[in-house]
A and B are shown apart, each in its own frame.
Chain A
Amino acid sequence: MATIAQPYAGTYPRPSRWEVIWEWITTVDHKKIAKLYLVTSFVFFILAGIEALIIRLQLARPDERLISAETYNELFTMHGTMMIFLVVMPLGVAFFNLLVPLQIGARDVAFPRLNALSYWIYLFGGILLTSSWLFEAAPNDGWFAYANLTEKTFTPGHNLDFYYVGLQILGISSLIGAINFFVTILNMRAPGMRIMRMPPFTWMVMVTSVLLFTALPVLAVDLILLMFDRAYATNFFNPAKGGEPILWQHLFWLFGHPEVYIMILPAFGIISEILPTFARKPLFGYPVVVLSGAAIGVMGWGVWAHHMFTVGLGAAANSAFATTTMLIAVPTGIKIFNWIATLWGGDLQMKTPLYFALGFIAMFIIGGLSGVTHGIVPADYEQHMTYYIVAHFHYVLFGGALFALFGGIYYWYPKLFGRMLDETIGKWHFWLMLIGFNLTFGPFHMLGLDGMPRRIYTYAANNGWGFWNMVSTIGAFTIALSILVFFWNVYVTSRKPADAPADPWDGRSLEWTIPSPPPEYNFARIPVVHARDPLWHQKLLRRYGRATGNDPLAQEPADEHIHMPPRSFYPIITALGLPLMGYGFIYQQDHKAFWALFAAGIIVLFLGAFGWATEPTE
């Protein structure tokens, strides 16, 4: 019989009450951690969404004075920063957590405590960043915080200090997580699960992980340079002493461009899972789809200066980056064609996950095409820093990534929660969101080409921008309504019994071979894989009478002892050290006494690490 976690026996005595909270605080189970990421991301999604709604209220009419310029600048900065670092990326990680071990036939990730650590650091980093609102010091120079506006002389106050401390902490979470998943995928695949047999989602996680652990260090350096300029008067971005504000941009976008692929590749993976299941045929051109994902990852390193076409790098540089930018459209287009070919000739089951996947393709095509027009450099001179760019990235990040993530939520909800989300409510959610989304961001194309710049808290009436801004605001509230519909769906579903079958969608990959939700150990027997889409392969064998011998995907109870990693208190302790150090560093600039808080953070960090290193692991 399989056994679950051993009784806890660590260096410090264990309290005996509040079992449930304790269970969540000490969990190292990737499925529980997936739920933690999911719920936390949605909380930040609501906050960042409200920030957007206030922005839209301010911009609905010309010369509006609903909020001050200072507040507006904090709002758009936090909206972007939170959506990217506290919503889209962690939602992706929620799926990494749920799916990677299940899809490769493993019982957990390579380093379960490190996995928990990644979550707690994300939570505390997110709280620190968001708490800046309470300190009336929310970051306010845009999510990409161009130097030298971010120097202390131009942005006094702690706004930017919260920015670089918050992002540095969040970066650590992602870095650790990326290495964890990379090692997991390389090292913990079930027998027979060759790389080219892996489900496309796991493949994309592998590429995304590589991008994360190579790109984040560059951002970390950029943030360190900013920290030193602000706190210790160094000159990295100080033109008076010869510093180059452009250096910030180079380092930022060297991170920033891989970052957008970090956000979209998992979404690509989700779509590549949903389409075959609901078309009831294989992913068209699997090798091309996964390898084009890898190609995008690699080529993504060669396009960063397309964010800097107007900076004055020179005609040669601009031409080079125009070329690389246009080239990267090729692997992206290939994917879209392969997805459509997957649908073509299929037997399309029109369920909610497929709706979101179709919405993704439709919206991503628009976003991708507008992106190609940015690569036409002389046109970009007109588009740069206007709403046309805002249109592009919302189409690919919301119409793209977020639609795919919602599709994934509907698709894997039964696996994680044992219940199927309601189909009818799901379709209402989809249509409201699709319409609201297009009403909100479609007009941005017009506004941008009509010369409306980004990041202006108000605009004059004579520009003629009032109509489309009002339409956009109405769209934004429609999106909000659609999200409420989604929460209604979650609520209604929570009242149903948790009786979802193991394989509600007639799936293709290993996660559908185990119960919904799975037991803590996932697989009673580690499966042996003989083909891509191992479950579908098995079904086809059975259907055509070719299945012989024992079914390697069957999950009868195994008779060996299954050792699961015990729960641990130390990830959350270790993680707690970081925000203490963070607040301490931010405020030591005002009162030296805060160095004590910083030191306390280091001590907590070491105590956590010490407990971690010395607790038993069996």
Chain B
Amino acid sequence: MIARIRRLRYLLASIPFLLIVLLASGCIGNSNPQDSLSPAGAAAADSKRLFYPAFWIAVAIFFLTEGALVAAVWRFRHRGAPSDQLPKQVHGNTRLEVAWTIAPALLLAGLAVPTIATIFHLRPSSEGNPLNVTVIGHQWWWEFRYPDLGVVTANELHIPTHRRVNLLLQSEDVIHIFYVPRLAGGMDNVPGRNNTMWIEADKEGEYQGQCTQFCGASHAFMRFKVFADSPQNFDAWAQHQKEGPVNPATLPDQGNQVTYTYNGKPGTPAGGLKVFSNNACIGCHTITGVSNGMVGPNLTHFGERTSLAGASLTNTPDNVAKWIHNPQAVKPEAKMPNLHLSDEEIANLVAYLESLK
């Protein structure tokens, strides 16, 4: 009976250790979209390169100290009948104190050196040929401006691979954090401040990010994507962004072909352009040559984006309709007003927006 309880106790005591192993096992295998330990760029790799040695040293210290703890309990727990014997009344050991003060201090000093070096290394510099992007946080979407290229877009950041991208972080309202873990650690967008960081992608791909500083009701939906394109594809993309939007008149049937139906109502791109131009949309959004609103995302090439609503919805016609129909139902307290458009207006708008390729 006693032996069984003892065995059960050791089994239970080993659970924390098993958990650690289990947790550590998460480090191998498929990487999730925001896995900071799966770097796809130099900045994230720098973070990981520092984290891993620190982590393994911590694991070693963990086993040493927890091991000493378990060993102490195992070895010195009172067994047998209560006795009057006292263990040796040791008060301390100066040499030990000195040793276990100096050793950790040296270890930490050792960690501090590469830490400080990397802090400085991660500052942006204007060497080479960096691409400059201004990242402006809004409640609850991301604005990306390329000052040297004259490009403005939202929620989906395109960058070329193998080229430093210097980010200037700003905010229109409250503090946000621009965080795309596979490319770099996060940095604050503080209103009234200009913070800087850099990212650089090693390989083409789509990298997920989101705001990491609590910024209000829809903080959970302030997401974004970074698309690392080959340099040629990036140039093509940037070139295309500078071009004007698709004019429905250039579409089949002068844009009067029904390309979307919403609750039975048909929508055409031409009809959508009319709806857009005659409603409050133009007050907030920019579509080059059509409107000049500065409050909401630039929609000039909206149809090409893979997502909307702070990259929280996939860009499908139904999702766009859902968003326009009731933004606050998708993102709590969304700043985009519910214009109470009719189903027909929505159908037309969706057809138009999705045509903006």
Contact = CB atoms under 8 A, between A and B. Distances in A.
Q: Do A and B come from one complex?
A: yes
Interface of A: 68-70, 73, 141-142, 146, 148-149, 154-155, 239, 242-246, 279-282, 284-288, 310-312, 315, 318-319, 322-323, 326-327, 329-330, 333-334, 336-338, 340-341, 343-350, 358, 361-362, 365-366, 369-370, 372-373, 375-386, 431, 434-435, 438-439, 442-443, 445-446, 449-460, 462-465, 468, 540, 543
A260 B194 CA distance: 31
Contacts of A443: 23
A146 B214 contact: yes
Contacts, number: 300
Interface string B156-187: 00000000000001000111010101101111
Interface of A is mostly: helix
Contacts of A146: 175, 213-214
Contact of A245 (B187, B190, B312): B190
B100 A333 contact: yes
A360 to B, nearest CB: 11
A358 B73 contact: yes
B26 interface: yes
Given A246-B193, A286-B91, A312-B193, 7 more contacts: A245-B175, A330-B104, A344-B68, A369-B61, A376-B54, A381-B187, A449-B37
B175 A348 contact: no
Given A315-B123, A340-B69, A463-B34, A435 B186 contact: no
A149 B333 CA distance: 14
A536 B297 CA distance: 73
Contacts of B15: 435, 438
Contacts of B195: 311-312
Interface string B284-310: 000000000000000000000000000
Interface of B: 12, 15-16, 19-20, 23, 26-27, 30, 32-37, 44, 46-48, 50-51, 54-55, 58, 61-62, 65-66, 68-69, 72-73, 76-78, 83, 85-93, 96-97, 100-101, 104-105, 108-109, 111-112, 115-116, 118-120, 122-123, 139, 169, 173-175, 177, 179, 181-182, 184-188, 190-193, 195-196, 208, 210-220, 223, 312, 332-333
Nearest to B108: A326
Contact of B115 (A311, A340, A377): A377
A279 B101 CA distance: 24
B105 A453 contact: no
Contacts of B332: 68-70
A35 B16 CA distance: 34
B86 A347 contact: yes
Contacts of B173: 148, 154
A468 B37 CA distance: 17
B184 A381 contact: yes
Contacts of B36: 382-383, 386, 449-451
A348 B77 contact: yes
Given A319-B119, A372-B58, A382-B47, A344 B186 contact: no
B55 A322 contact: no
Nearest to A363: B16
Given A279-B87, A362-B16, A455 B214 contact: yes
A373 B55 contact: yes
Nearest to A151: B174
A380 B181 CA distance: 11
Contact of B47 (A282, A378, A455, A465): A378
Given A280-B86, A345-B87, A381 B97 contact: no
- Kindly list the 5 A-B residue pairs having the minimum CB-CB distance in the complex, ordered from nearest: A381-B185, A451-B34, A239-B192, A456-B220, A312-B195
B189 to A, nearest CB: 10
B108 A379 contact: no
Contacts of A315: 119-120, 123
A380 B185 contact: yes
A455 B186 contact: no
Nearest to A319: B116
18 contacts: A69-B333, A141-B214, A154-B174, A286-B92, A287-B92, A310-B186, A315-B123, A326-B111, A343-B76, A376-B115, A378-B47, A378-B119, A380-B185, A450-B26, A453-B179, A453-B211, A456-B210, A463-B33
A344 B16 CA distance: 22
Nearest to A462: B33
Given A379-B51, A455-B219, A445 B76 contact: no
A139 to B, nearest CB: 12
Contacts of B92: 284-288, 338
A445 B37 CA distance: 12
A475 B173 CA distance: 38
A350 B13 CA distance: 14
Highest count of chain B CB atoms <10 Å: which of A155, A350, A361, A378:
A378
B185 A382 contact: yes
B72 A382 contact: no
B114 to A, nearest CB: 9
Contacts of B26: 446, 450, 468
A70 B78 CA distance: 54
A344 B69 CA distance: 9
A250 to B, nearest CB: 13
Given A149-B174, A381-B187, A453-B211, A70 B217 contact: yes
Contacts of A311: 188, 190, 195
Contact of B89 (A333, A385, A450, A540): A540
Highest count of chain A CB atoms <10 Å: which of B46, B112, B115:
B115
Contact of A322 (B30, B119, B187): B119
Nearest to A540: B89
A372 B169 CA distance: 28
Contacts of B91: 282, 284-286
Contacts of A385: 177, 179, 186, 212-214
Nearest to A150: B174
A616 B105 CA distance: 56
B78 A350 contact: yes
Contacts of A373: 51, 54-55, 58
A442 B85 contact: no
A431 B12 contact: yes
A376 B111 contact: yes
Nearest to B46: A378
B185 A347 contact: no
Contacts of A337: 65, 96, 100
A50 B65 CA distance: 34
A310 B58 contact: no
A336 B65 contact: yes
Contacts of B112: 322-323, 326
Nearest to B102: A330
Contact of B51 (A382, A431, A435): A382
A149 B215 contact: yes
A339 to B, nearest CB: 9
